[in-house]
Amino acid sequence: MRNIYEYRDNFANYRDVKSILLWGDTNAIQNPEVSIIMPCFSHPDFLKTSLKSAINQDFKGKYEIIICDNNELTDIPTENQKIVEDFANSKILYYRNEKNIGMIGNWNRLIELAHAPFVVYLHDDDLLLPTALSTLIRIQKKYNADGVNAAFNKIGADGNILSEAKYVPHIKLGFLKSHNIIKSSVIDLFLGRNGGFGCGCLFRKKCLLEIGGFSPEFYPSADYALNAVMATKYNVYFCKEPTFCYRVAENESLSVYEQFAEVDKHFRNCMKKFIHIPNFILNRLILAMYRTSQISFKVMWGKADKSLLKQQRKDDLLVLKLAHRVRLLMSDFKPFSN
């Protein structure tokens, strides 16, 4: 597997495949500030609620919603297309690929289709919170950010909340006060902190094009690799206030959980050259994260019994706890004046 910082034009993989506009008017929204981009394939039941969350934003600026259906083009409308037509909202543009270009290929195609300088991903089974766009754009403007990742809530297949992001406006610790908008760095991504799934997060389109988009070979963690590169090369921030709901459902990630630990280990080895910490410390952290994630991913994605977590080594957990505490104090807390 190549180094995640080695450039590859992933947009070229499917340049010969056209995406056909089947619903909407590209002139309906002139000069949008942001594009909500929605890859879709086989979740028509979820798409309806997902699309509704994109439409019901409190953002006062101009934005478009671009859907790219990865079901191979035929003369028969898909269930996804019927849902779009039922909404009949002028913000929506619905495209369908001539042939299936793969999940990650579809992510990249949506970057190309977007008309706005910024994009916000929304997968067809997830939900944006009503304040998502206004929150992300406010942070982007304040810090001239190239990317804004955000916290998220988890929901089940039935839409019920499984867990909520622990969002506290400010925490005081002695003369220090926590901040809820934090500059992301490569060490944060290395430790698995302050990253994003891509969904519910904002990216500058120009930057995504410059780095070659998402790489299919980095599946199932292509979003992690891209976020690491973004945090290394560009001005990226993390917002502790949740912007989306991630749906934990039976999907393809459940069958590939064993790959996560291996791929993430490779990514962290790639990041080491950009982190000014002795290699022996970084290698110990990589080993600890690798061993603990082998077990935690089985529980999280493979639906293994939670009792399996007891097999995680205590020394690994202690090393990671210490690293996270130190990084938390360094990045999240700053002195305040009364």
How far is 194 from 327, CA to CA, in rounded Å?
11
| pLDDT < 50: residue spans in the chain | 252, 336-338
What is the 8-class DSSP label of residue 213? S
Report d(CA 71, CA 96) in Å as an integer. 7
How confident is the model over 147-186, as pLDDT tens digits?
A: 999 999 989 888 888 888 876 565 555 555 667 899 999 9
Task: List strand residue ranges (DSSP E) for 139-293, in order.
Answer: 147-155, 161-163, 172-173, 176-178, 181-183, 202-204, 236-247
> Does CATH number 3.90.550.10 belong to domain 10-251?
yes
pLDDT at residue 2, as a whole number: 96
- For residue 337, the model assigns a pLDDT of 46
* pLDDT for 297: 79
Output the pLDDT for position 332: 61
* Predicted pLDDT at 282: 97
**Tens of pLDDT along 269-278?**
999 999 999 9
Domain ranges of the chain: 10-251
Helical segments of 145-278, H only? 186-190, 205-210, 222-233, 257-271
Name the token pair of 155: 């929901």
pTM of this structure: 0.92
pLDDT at position 338, please? 39
